[in-house]
Structure 1
Amino acid sequence: MDNTYAYGPVVTRDRSHTLFAQTMAYVAGTAGLFALGAYLGRNLTGGPAIIAYIASFAALIGMQFSARRSRELTIGLLAAFGLFIGLAVAPTLAFYASQDPQALWQSGGATALFIAGFGAAGYATRRDLSKLARYAFWALVALIAFSIVLIFVNIPNGALIYAILGLVIFAVLTMVDFQRLRRNTDIQSAPLLAASIFLDILNVFLFFLTIFSGRSDNR
């Protein structure tokens, strides 16, 4: 009797669980390097922070090319991304730590609940969310354009509107990424999935930081 079909779902499920564990381990490692970069770069000025941001973006692009060639290089680039993006965001975090530390803690807690909730929803849903990813991508492009407009045009509550729209978009992207994590069985994709999920977390945190710091300014 051929047991291939009986073992197939079990093997697929085991590979999915392994991918989930590895991806979340990479997310945790990237978060740790981000925290290290944020600490090391707490006294950075705008110029070096911009250079660090460009370096983090270059590391992300490099991961796309190295993913199928060298797992070790891809993991190394993920580590570099975490460190460089931490250096890039460090001046912002240092500012809030000195001016409004409560906003940092509130944003961290809200981000944890947000990612846990929408991540679980995306991981559990059986409906294909890949089509929503395309809409979310173009919505993100529009949001970036809106942020540029805000630099030159004073829109009442513009920052709050920007942050809320950003949270809506990243709620969709978070669900999509966690559904990809459940449906995928390619262990080699773990670093790329980790980078995507970490970006979800970071952006959600920054959006919440805008909201909670705005509340403090209005008191």
Structure 2
Amino acid sequence: MNPPYGYQSPVVISRDRTHTLFAQTMGYVALTAGLFALGAYLGRNLTGGVAIISYLASFGCLIGMQFAVRRSTQLTVGLLCGFGVLIGLAIAPTLSYYAATDPQALWQAGGATALFIAGFGAAGYATRRDLTVVARISFWALVGLIIFGIVLIFVNIPNGALIYSVLGLVIFAGLTMVDFQRLRRTKDVRSAPLLAASIFLDILNVFLFFLQIVSRSSR
């Protein structure tokens, strides 16, 4: 018996939604990256105090997105755009420093980040294994890494910065896989801006970890 005219299999519908969500999310990631670059350029001469304020404001945008996502897609996207510009302003002094002292490190870190995200993102998107346990472990490991970073401010540990960066890459390998699996499993297209923000944070943190590693190796 043939299906009625216009009938679509639920599998086909689900697959279409997944492709739509993937396209929208990666489009938002690209938009955020562009606005980040704009913010970094505009803030290249900012002082550290303004950068800290921009950093705090950027996370205010992320918190606002959590509340706006169910109410207004336009507001959520607007907050995502604000986050991109503000985090660019916050990171601008760091990028300006490396651009002046070791510009090659920026390109090397960028290339390593692209390969890292492509590899672990593809692995997370393709795997059928539930990564919930990986998400839980990565979250608590990230909390531990933050505490370790605070300790490094006050205690001089040999190669502490290198250890911090390597551990960070391990943790964000897990988080990147988890975020890309969420991208495949989520069906609500309204979640695209939140997923984009999470993936962009993965990319940014991985880039900063690689930047620190590469700059140390070139000294």
Distance (whole Å) between structure 1 residues aligned to residue 3 and residue 140 of structure 2 = 45
- CA deviations on 1:116-170 (whole Å, 9 max, x unpaired) are 0000000000000022101100000000000000011111110000000000000
Give the structure-2-normalised TM-score: 0.97
- 2:112 is paired with a residue whose SS is helix
Could you tell me which of 85, 90, 93 is aligned with 1:91?
Answer: 93
- CA deviations on 1:149-194 (whole Å, 9 max, x unpaired) are 0011111110000000000000000000000101111100000000
Task: Give the partner amino acid of 2:178.
Answer: V
Q: State the Cα distance separating 1:2 from its structure 2 match.
A: 8.7
Q: Name the structure 2 match of 1:77.
A: 79
Q: Name the structure 2 match of 1:50.
A: 52
Q: Name the structure 2 match of 1:39.
A: 41
- CA deviations on 1:186-212 (whole Å, 9 max, x unpaired) are 100000000000000000000000100
Q: Name the structure 2 match of 1:156.
A: 158
- CA deviations on 1:68-113 (whole Å, 9 max, x unpaired) are 0110000000000000000000000000000000110000000000
Give the structure-1-normalised TM-score: 0.97
Q: State the Cα distance separating 1:6 from its structure 2 match.
A: 6.3
Could you tell me which of 136, 139, 159 is aligned with 1:137?
Answer: 139
RMSD of aligned Cα (Å): 1.3
Runs of 5+ in structure 1 lacking a partner? Answer: none
Distance (whole Å) between structure 1 residues aligned to residue 2 and residue 49 of structure 2 = 64
Could you tell me which of 20, 24, 27 is aligned with 1:25?
Answer: 27
The total of aligned residue pairs comes to: 217
* CA shift in 2, pair 1:161/1:39, >3 Å: same
The percent of aligned pairs where both chains have the same amino acid is 76
User: Runs of at least 4 residues of structure 1 off by over 6 A?
Assistant: none
- CA deviations on 1:10-59 (whole Å, 9 max, x unpaired) are 00000000000000000000000000000000000101000100110100
Could you tell me which of 191, 194, 205 is aligned with 2:193?
Answer: 191
Distance (whole Å) between structure 1 residues aligned to residue 190 and residue 153 of structure 2 = 40
- 1:131 is paired with a residue whose SS is helix
Distance (whole Å) between structure 1 residues aligned to residue 157 and residue 3 of structure 2 = 64
Task: Give the partner amino acid of 1:169.
Answer: I
Distance (whole Å) between structure 2 residues aligned to residue 110 and residue 18 of structure 1 = 28
Distance (whole Å) between structure 2 residues aligned to residue 100 and residue 79 of structure 1 = 29
Could you tell me which of 66, 69, 73 is aligned with 2:68?
Answer: 66
Q: State whether structure 2 residue 177 is matched by structure 1 residue 172.
A: no
Q: State the Cα distance separating 1:3 from its structure 2 match.
A: 4.8
- 2:9 is paired with a residue whose SS is helix
Q: Name the structure 2 match of 1:12.
A: 14
Q: Which moved further from structure 2: 1-10 or 129-138?
A: 1-10
Q: State whether structure 2 residue 111 is matched by structure 1 residue 109.
A: yes
Distance (whole Å) between structure 2 residues aligned to residue 155 and residue 2 of structure 1 = 71
